Each structure stands twice: as structure tokens, then as C-alpha cells.
């Protein structure tokens, strides 16, 4: 296994370390293409990153972003959509040109066209650094266990476990969409560099399974063992320390 693990102690330290990696990339390449993730885990990183950017007034006018996924059926005004999350946690705080921000449209009339165009745009631009969180079952983006390692951006069904995990953000479990649009595992692997954030004791099992090194479609995150440039960032709870 080739990945590096940065062992932070606290969530705040992990978030800062992750933000530093992205900040340094943005500083060294004005037209960096960022792949971004949602979920509770990267919130601290977005907070630290926007502070670092604003402290030095870093020019982001040539930066492009792609998000991993979006729920089917939620539009950008829905406060549970990933569009809304990104606006709230990052894009309202920093100046990335609106036309450079790409997030899958979960209410597109033609979903097939939507996912095909998204994949083509990723191929055209190329992602320099992709941020990932992880689900308890080892999913990355919304690629649930069993998803083909060859998968490209597509419409996917969520497992009951994922729906239950994400229900905490909704009023009731029934409100959680059962489908999403998601970059595929092969899409994610196209990124030049990947940083995977794992925080909290509820992710300890997934982290240990990943670190143990077995590569299997039953554990989507394990595809990252086939990638040459992965940085894993953990806090002590995720390591069970
Ligand atoms: C969702 C997202 C994933 C994210 C996961 C974990 O399923 N699609 O990209 O990694 O949740 O989220 P959290 O960080 O809130 O545990």
C-alpha cells in the first residue's frame, strides 16, 4: 500500500492539515481543479481553508471545482441539497467564479445527459486534487458496496444504512432521497491526487478495513490502494486511540 497517513489527534487538527494541503496546491497552481466532498467531516476543513484563503486574499479567479455527488430530486434551494451545503460551507465565503463551479443537477430533466456531460467535463478539465469522506460501509461519494470499480458518473441507489446515517440532517427518515447522482469509482481514480478524511469513532471500522489493505468491490474505498497519490487524514478517534 502506497498511501500516506497523516495522524492528527483532534478533528480540528485533521481539518487544518487537510486545508493546508489544498491551500498549498491553490497557491502553486492558479488554475487548480478541485474535487470537493460534502458531509459533516469536511466542514472543519472548509472553514479552515476559507480562512487561509481570505487571510492572504488568494486569487481564485482561475480555479474550477467539481463536487462528488448530489441527491436526486433536491434542487439547489433545498437546504438538504449538496448545492446548498457547498454554498453555505464554502462558496459564500470565497470567490470562485460561479461558472467554474460544477455540481451535478439532481433535478435535471435528462439525467442520462446530465451524468454524461459531467463525466466529459471532468475528462476535459482534469481534477488535480479530490477530497473524499467515507461512509460507515466504506462508500465514497455515493458509490455503495458492490459498485463496479469501472463505474463512471451515474445515477445510483442508496443503501438503507446510508439513508439512516444521513437521516440526521432531515426531519424524518422518509424525507431522505433514495437515489443520487454520483461520480463513479473510475471517475474518482482519474484525479491526480486524493485526500481522504476519516474522523470519529463511528468510522473506525471503515478506516481499519481500508488500512488493512484488501482490495474488493465490497469496500468501495479500497479502490484507492490502486491510486499512486493518496493521503489519508485521520483523527485519533478514527484510529481508535
Ligand atoms: C454521504 C456523502 C459522502 C460522505 C458520507 C459521510 O454519504 N455522499 O461523500 O463521505 O456521507 O458523511 P459524514 O462525513 O457526514 O459522515
* φ/ψ (deg, to 5) at 193: -140, 145
Q: Is residue 2 scored above 90 in pLDDT?
A: no
| Strand order, beta sheet including 129-132 | 4-7, 230-234, 193-198, 129-132, 33-36, 64-67, 101-102
Tell me which residue of 176, 178, 239, 167 sits closest to 209, measured CA to CA.
239
Predicted pLDDT at 79: 95
| Predicted TM-score (pTM) above 0.95 | yes
* pLDDT tens by residue, 132-180: 999 999 999 999 999 999 999 999 999 999 999 999 999 999 999 999 9
Task: Tell me how far the alpha carbon of residue 133 lies from the centroid of ligand 1, in angstroms.
Answer: 6
Alpha carbon distance 230, 2 (integer Å):
8
Class of domain 28-190+211-233: alpha beta
Segments making up each domain of the chain, as ranges: 28-190+211-233
Q: Whose CA is nearest to atom 10 of ligand 1?
A: 133
In the 8-state DSSP scheme, what is residue 87?
I
Q: What is the mean pLDDT of residues 47-55?
A: 98
Beta bridge partners of 140: 143
Q: Which residues line ligand 1 (CB under 6 A)?
A: 37-41, 68-69, 133-135, 141-142, 162, 166
Contact 93, 60 (CB under 8 A): no
Task: Tell me how far the alpha carbon of residue 147 lies from the centroid of ligand 1, in angstroms.
Answer: 16
Q: Is residue 220 scored above 90 in pLDDT?
A: yes
Q: Whose CA is nearest to atom 9 of ligand 1?
A: 141
Task: Tell me how far the alpha carbon of residue 56 lies from the centroid of ligand 1, in angstroms.
Answer: 30
Amino acid at each position: 500500500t502506497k498511501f500516506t497517513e497523516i495522524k492528527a489527534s483532534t478533528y480540528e487538527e485533521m481539518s487544518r492539515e487537510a486545508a493546508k494541503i489544498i491551500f498549498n496546491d491553490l497557491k502553486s497552481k492558479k488554475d487548480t481543479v478541485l474535487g470537493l466532498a460534502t458531509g459533516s467531516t469536511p466542514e472543519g476543513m472548509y472553514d479552515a481553508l476559507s480562512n487561509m484563503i481570505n487571510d492572504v486574499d488568494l486569487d481564485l479567479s482561475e480555479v474550477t471545482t467539481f463536487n462528488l455527488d448530489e441527491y436526486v430530486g433536491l434542487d439547489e434551494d433545498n437546504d438538504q441539497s449538496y448545492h446548498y451545503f457547498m454554498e453555505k460551507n464554502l462558496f459564500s465565503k470565497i470567490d470562485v467564479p460561479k461558472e467554474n463551479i460544477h455540481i451535478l443537477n439532481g433535478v435535471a430533466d435528462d439525467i442520462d445527459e446530465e451524468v454524461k456531460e459531467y463525466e466529459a467535463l471532468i475528462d476535459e478539465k482534469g481534477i488535480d486534487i479530490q477530497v473524499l469522506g467515507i461512509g460507515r460501509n466504506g462508500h465514497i461519494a455515493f458509490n455503495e458496496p458492490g459498485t463496479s470499480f469501472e463505474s463512471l458518473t451515474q445515477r445510483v441507489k442508496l443503501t438503507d444504512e446510508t439513508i439512516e446515517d444521513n437521516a440526521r440532517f432531515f426531519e424524518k427518515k422518509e424525507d431522505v432521497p433514495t437515489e443520487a447522482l454520483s461520480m463513479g469509482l473510475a471517475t474518482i481514480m482519474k484525479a491526480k491526487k486524493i485526500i481522504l478524511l476519516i474522523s470519529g469513532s463511528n468510522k473506525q471500522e471503515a478506516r481499519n478495513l481500508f488500512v488493512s489493505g484488501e482490495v474488493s468491490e465490497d469496500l468501495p474505498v479500497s479502490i484507492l490502494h490502486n491510486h499512486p497519490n493518496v493521503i489519508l487524514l485521520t483523527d485519533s478517534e478514527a484510529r481508535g486511540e
